[in-house]
Chains A and B, each alone.
Chain A
Amino acid sequence: MRREAPKSLADYTPLLFPGLMLVVFFVVPFSTMIAVSFFKRNPSGFYTPDFVIDNYARFLTAFFGGVLGFSLLLAVLVAVCCVAIAFPFTYLLTKRPRRVQTLWLVGLLSVLSLSEVIIGFAWSTLFSQTAGITNLFVAIGLMDKPVALLPTFGAVLAGMVYQALPYTILVLYPALVRLDPTLLEAARTLGASPVRAFFNVVTPALRNTIVATLIMVFVFALGSYLLPQILGRPRHWTLSVLITDQAIYQSNMPFAAAMAVFLVLISLALVGLTLLVGRKENAL
């Protein structure tokens, strides 16, 4: 049975339920959010329908500029750290026996599926004064007494790298596992050491994959909504945290929606860029 074009209207029936669900519960909510971003705030309820651009005008304040700059910087930092750790790691992992790979993949998936709430709680415990890692340093004589390592920027960064690292490895895994092994064999035959072969052959061959992964991890990190709140100070809040805060605690849905629309635009532009980079890779 080959693939064929639908002949009658009845052939379209399988699309009915998925199409309906996705349009009613994804396209409509998304459009509602865009509409709400032009509405007026109503402190006693959610919002009043209107058409104002005040919510977008607030982007021009120094406060918002600061939050945006910090969010982008933090996401870049997380993406660079993750790819720097994950790329050599994933490469080495694909060279291990299948059983070892499977074991690691199960572990990585388990960490990746963890709720951001749990990751935040786990890291706040690890960095706490009473149960934290500094107790270990005291025990081995590195420190005099245990201290709390949060709220700090370092704690936010560690938590977010932890959250994004399994994602990074799983994004890199397919590309590295399918890497043509003859490339490496050729390099080895010509006398390159494994380390040299990795840096001079594998890394340049996967240049576009690395760029695409950096962008994907960047978008992933932009989405972190709890870790900066749990592990950092208010000045470490990102755009995602601010959106949640405005929507839930300040009951300013229109402003939250406007920021969300802005975040969508940034993310879409970057995802588009990833697809473009990916296409170039396939064309080579």
Chain B
Amino acid sequence: MTATFLRRLYFTVVALFLSAPLIVVAGVSVNARQELTFPPKGFSLAWYGQIFTDPEWRLALIHSVTLAVCSAAIAVAIALPLAWFLWRRIAPWANIFQVLGLAPFILPPVITALGFLSFWATVGLFGHFFTAIISHAIFFVTLPLVTLSLGFASIDRSLVEAAATMGADDRTVLKTVVLPLILPYLVSGYAFAFVLSLNEYIVAYMTIGFTTETLPIKIFNALRYGYTPTMASVSVFFVAVAALVFGSIAKFGDIRRLLGAMSSDGN
């Protein structure tokens, strides 16, 4: 009885710690006037409208979404053939590409960001929007690579063998057996890369920060010049998008498996 109570208390404290800053931000975002007070004075959803009606915030939103949509797609395009090759072939030296795919995510982000800054500055393309797309694609390639490797590992090889015995060639097997099986992992990998790219600040800032504003860059710039409640509403918007995406992955896939539960007995 006391054990249950203590466990509930512990869970509640952790939940409070994780949600307290977000609750305050959500409260601040509905203030009627442009002030930073909590509990909010009055109620207004005008600051949420601002994200879409204020030209500067809307432009930042468009930049962020474009960046996330394109970079996640490129990240998947890099990860898919690589993960397929590593699953299909025995080529130990090819594992170096896997290490390269994991490295940008493990190293402190400042390092990757500075690498991109030096690179784009050296080749003279510094500040172009597409440089941020490529940089994010490389930075987040780890996520689809990990989910797709998990997906390939979960494929029952006898299915593939059966198809091959029936006369299917590599291409047919890939199209009719392998791709349908790994589709959920492909979608999750894309979704992870998309959400993280949407939120990413330092790589975007070091590549296009001087010419273009994405939402995180805009929030940070706004933070330095004082406070506007739109920053709070954008933050709530971000939390909602992340919760929606990860919630859908949990609903349509197995998020526990993606996060490492059961992967040892999965095949």
Task: List residues of chain A with CB under 8 Å of any chain B CB.
Answer: 1-6, 11-12, 14-15, 17-19, 21-23, 25-30, 32-33, 35-36, 46, 85, 88-89, 92, 98, 101-102, 105-111, 113-126, 128, 130-133, 135, 162, 165-166, 170, 173-174, 177-178, 194-195, 219, 222-223, 225-226, 230, 240, 243-244, 247-248, 253, 256-257, 260, 263-264, 267-268, 271
Contacts and interface: CB of A to CB of B under 8 A. Distances in A.
A15 B85 contact: yes
Interface of B: 3, 7, 10-11, 14-15, 17-18, 20-22, 24-25, 27-28, 35-39, 74, 77-79, 81-82, 84-85, 87-91, 94, 97, 100-101, 103-104, 106-111, 114-119, 121-122, 134-135, 137-138, 141, 157, 160-161, 163-164, 170, 173, 195-196, 199-202, 205-206, 209, 216-217, 219-220, 223, 231-232, 235, 238-239, 242-243, 246-247, 250, 255-256, 259-264
A123 B259 contact: no
Given A105-B255, A247-B206, A264-B107, A92 B118 contact: no
A240 B170 CA distance: 47
Contacts of A36: 118, 122
A195 B7 CA distance: 11
Contact of B160 (A1, A102, A162, A253): A1
B113 to A, nearest CB: 8
A178 to B, nearest CB: 6
Nearest to A85: B14
B110 A244 contact: yes
Given A113-B196, A135-B38, A225 B110 contact: yes
Contacts of A23: 100
Given A89-B11, A113-B195, A165-B14, 15 more contacts: A4-B89, A5-B91, A15-B81, A25-B134, A29-B115, A33-B119, A113-B196, A117-B219, A119-B21, A120-B223, A121-B231, A177-B262, A225-B108, A225-B202, A248-B206
Given A18-B79, A243-B110, A128 B36 contact: yes
Contacts of B201: 115-117, 226
A132 B77 CA distance: 45
B18 A162 contact: yes
Nearest to B261: A177
Contacts of B134: 25
23 contacts: A1-B170, A1-B173, A4-B89, A11-B89, A14-B84, A15-B85, A17-B77, A23-B100, A25-B119, A88-B10, A117-B216, A121-B25, A122-B25, A131-B24, A162-B17, A166-B18, A177-B260, A225-B108, A226-B201, A230-B223, A240-B108, A243-B111, A267-B107
